[in-house]
Structure 1
Amino acid sequence: MASADSKAPFSLDSYYVSEELGFILPEPLEELPPYYQEWMDIALRIPELVQSHELRSHVNKMPLLSSEFLQKHRELRLAHVALSMMAMAYVWQEGEKDTVEMLPRSLAVPFWEVSQRLGFPPIFTHADGVLANWKKKDPKGPFDMDNLELLVSIPGGESVRGFFLVTLLVELAAAPALRNIPTVINGVRSGDTEAVARALEGISQSMQDMTDALKLMQVYVEPAVFYGKMRIYLSGWRDNPCMPNGLIYEGVQTEPMEYSGGSAAQSSLLHCFDELLGVKHEGNSASFLIRMRNYMVPAHKRLIQDISLQPSLRSFVEQQACERLNQAFHQCVTKLTALRSYHINVVSRFITVPAARARQLRNQSQSSSEMVSEAPTALEERGTGGSSIITFLKTVRDETKDALLPETS
């Protein structure tokens, strides 16, 4: 494998990036070897077992299985999806009022082992819920909402399906942008202005397609269901007032451990674009984003770091005095800013507005049949990753805008 600073052309070959699907895991497995049937039996029934308050007792009775018979990458990924969703359901089965202090050995030990082998943390991540949690109903059919379904789910019905699969389509829309990144880097190295401009135009089109895909959230996900039912199962045990001490993984270590919940910041896409375009994050937003990289597929994290070591695209654009190149760079930063602005809009609709509604209902102290009134109070102003969400997203969006070149007279 060529290192980031070698003279070999930059390529995506060693980073687990698919030509067609980008960071999405191609053809995830639907079944584990028969030895692991008890895991899958529980994982595939998570919503109904949580509903009947039986999930914890099923997990408590589960035998302690060795992870040694998981050989292939896809087997490990499906195991991580199943075990991570089970862990979230175990912790949050009774909502924020009755969390647990310990994950039982039969779940904690294999979950830890599988996580170590993949280089993931032992908690549910974006790579689990989105990148490795899909199948086509008709294998030869299109990659779209009508032909996709989830492998494993959490409580929340159709809105869960919508949330994860729309996010998957955003990842899919980014695949052409990822394919263009090596062209940009190699073009900057060799001084090929035309190639860089052309590739940046492709990237900005891809960013527009990502924003368009994200707009499907309002079609497929109900804000009240997301906020009132689903969201707690994406929440972690770091920066979470419900679980101030973290979680003990029985049989792994006696001290509790703290991990952040699933977050859009765990998608490698925007990190790659930031490094390519020279977007600089500072302070709290920077430290949160850097920490989220530990929740990514290690090869994807390495790609982000290797992009950051390349010659500066921004400086190259400034030096070339080429109108088309200037325009293409400007367009990329503008589209990335617009994508982040739209994400703020989504978060406002799915978190800020329902949170205000939930507070209003509680203040009136009437019993309410509205789903938002059942939502956890601890996360009202926070993202599932633990960040103060709107402040964080606005900061990151404004820092993106700062990457625009000073207007040339």
Structure 2
Amino acid sequence: MSNDSTDLLPPDHFLLQPRQDFLLGANEGHVDTSTLAAHDFDVDTRTGFMPPDPPLSRLPIQWELWETALDAAMQAKLQLAIKSGLTSDEKQSSESWRGHVRQLPVLPAFELTHSELLLRRAHHVLTFIMHFYIHTLPLSSPVFIPEPIAVPLVAISNHLQLPPVVTYSDNVLYNWDIIRPRAQDELGFEPPALDNLHSLDMFSGTIDEQEFYLASARIELRGVEALELMRATLDELFVGDEITIRRITAYLHKLASIVNDLEVILLDVRKGCDPSTFYHSIRPWFRGADSDPAHRKWVFEGVEEQPTDLSGPSAGQSALIHALDVFLGLDNCNVVEGGVTPDQRTLLRRMQTYMPRHHRNFLRHLSTNPRTVRTFVTQAKPDAELLDAYNSAVQSVKAFRDAHIKIVAIYIIGPAARERMELQNAGPEAQEVGRGVLKGTGGTDLVRFLKGVRDKTAEAVIEPTLQ
């Protein structure tokens, strides 16, 4: 197997196989899963949406200038332009670094297209450089992303089918390494333990930023078992007998337990990431064009067709959480007044634009499954245990979203409220920056969006009388 491959689920795993009846028009709903390989989805049996081996930590020598530019930004500990009390030395350090970036040659990106691993690393490095460049600029300066970064970044992003901006995959999926060597099992190296990870690159260089990324990485790794339960459940749906009902009931109860574990991991971020440090020193680096504090347009120099999808990274870009929604039918259930609006549905779909293309394909495939778990539960003969198991899984997802809102309250809403109080006596420029503080880094109306999605999940619980 080449270095660009990953150890993927074998072809007989239905969940990770494109439906042959859909693609080839097989008769009578027969599903042939024997031909298309799971690399279509880049999902590993041991690590899920994260790669089974640590991502590439450095590009080859041809692109070393990009790596050294990123190294220089991190080593200089460049400061945000919006930092309170920014010194003249800090401003000069940032300007000197940006001047160096502007003088870089435009390195060719074509050879990178032969390797997915190289492309991922290049996207990560160039987007980090771009965010360093933009967010150290004075707010009064227009945003012109210099050609040495803009041209190769747009070309690489087009090949990856990703926007040219920092995404969740840049911060989490492809930004880690192991601390201690791993033992080998019969399949090769065992998956990394949840406490055996560290982040490769950071904006602030703080432990808080690392813990913020690693909380999501740990959720991804713990969620691998959830993906296997989804696969096993979908296999059973095509039988539908009493044994199937018992097995699916057990699978759904176990799924609820795993999602409960995800909630615990999410809340544990509080142990290593200080809310004030996150809000003031980490989160602003993530902002995309639609949450730019000065509402500036981002212009990519040397690029004919200017990119438009320029939101920042968001937990909403995790394919794992979207997969839970699709699998349980939360993505398509009816919504009563006060739930998610059509605009919010669009935002959920838009987050998939920022996922690696293989993971988008996975979600599309999962959503085309001819028989869903929710349909099975509602159409099966009345079975109280099955209904309770399904509702337990739904309620666990709702509890996970409650925990997410709690984290947002601690890390964003609370600090934002305190900031607004401080800005009341500040000048007009500072007040202007403070007006958008409750927008997500992805440009969403944060509180309304999260509560709407949470409420939609709660409404998916099936009442016994509706069976």
Give TM-score, length-normalised by structure 2: 0.80
1:349 aligns with 2:410: yes
- In structure 2, C-alpha distance between the alignment counterparts of 1:292 and 1:278, rounded to whole Å: 18
Please say if 1:86 is aligned against 2:90. no
Contact 2:164–2:307, Cα closer than 8 Å, also in 1: no
State the match for 1:272 in structure 2: 323
Query: Which residue number in structure 1 is paired with residue 187 of structure 2?
Result: none
Task: Give the Å deviation of 1:9.
Answer: 4.6
Change (3 A) 1:256 1:317: closer
Deviating above 4 A after TM superposition, structure 1's stretches of 4 or more consecutive aligned residues are 9-13, 373-376
Q: 1:230 aligns with which of 278, 282, 285?
A: 282
| 1:203 correspondence with 2:255 | yes
- Shift in Å at residue 298 of structure 1? 0.9
Asked if structure 1 preserves the Cα contact closer than 8 Å seen for 2:163 and 2:307, the reply is: no
Alpha-carbon contact 2:194-2:221 (below 8 Å) kept: no
Matched AA of 2:59: L
Query: 1:117-166, CA deviations, whole angstroms, 9 ceiling, x for partnerless residues?
Result: 21111110001100000001223278456532211111251111111111
Q: Which moves more between the two structures, 119-128 or 55-64?
A: 55-64
Cα gap change, 1:271/1:394 in structure 2, threshold over 3 Å: closer, same or farther?
Answer: same
Question: Is the aligned partner of 1:319 residue 2:379?
Answer: yes
Are 1:8 and 2:29 matched, yes or no?
no
5+ unaligned residues in a row in structure 2: which ranges? 1-16, 23-30, 80-92, 184-190, 333-339
Indicate if the aligned counterparts of 1:134 and 1:148 stay in contact, CA closer than 8 A.
Answer: yes
By how many angstroms is 1:189 displaced?
2.2
Equivalent residue letter for 1:42: A
Match of 2:152 in 1: 110
Contact 1:64–1:107, Cα closer than 8 Å, also in 2:
yes
1:56 equivalent to 2:56? Answer no
Aligned position for 2:399: 338
Is contact 2:40–2:361 with CA below 8 Å preserved after alignment? no
Report the Cα distance in structure 2 between the residues aligned to 1:190 and 1:9, rounded to whole angstroms.
Answer: 16
Q: How far apart in 2 are the matches of 1:187 and 1:379? A: 48
- 1:1-400 matches, cutoff 5 A: 2-3=18-19, 5-6=21-22, 7-9=31-33, 14-27=40-53, 28-49=55-76, 50-51=78-79, 52-53=93-94, 54-70=96-112, 71-94=114-137, 97-140=139-182, 143-144=192-193, 147-155=196-204, 157-191=206-240, 192-238=244-290, 240=292, 242-245=294-297, 247-253=298-304, 255=306, 257-279=308-330, 280=332, 282-310=341-369, 311-320=371-380, 321-365=382-426, 376-400=433-457
Between the aligned partners of 2:299 and 2:154, the Cα distance in structure 1 is 12
Farther-moved stretch of structure 1 (115-124 vs 99-108): 99-108
Amino acid at match of 1:76: L
Partner amino acid, structure 2, of 1:262: P
2:458 maps to a residue whose letter is: K
Moved more, 99-108 or 76-85: 99-108
Q: Which amino acid aligns with 1:87?
A: M
Three-state SS of the structure 1 residue aligned to 2:226 is helix
1:345-401 C-alpha deviation (Å, 9 max, x unpaired): 0001000000111111222449xxxxxx99952531111001110111000000001
Contact 1:248–1:254 (Cα < 8 Å) also in 2: no
Distance 1:76 1:263 in 2: 21
Q: How many residues align?
A: 401
**TM-score under structure 1 length normalisation:** 0.91
Matching residue of 2:3: none
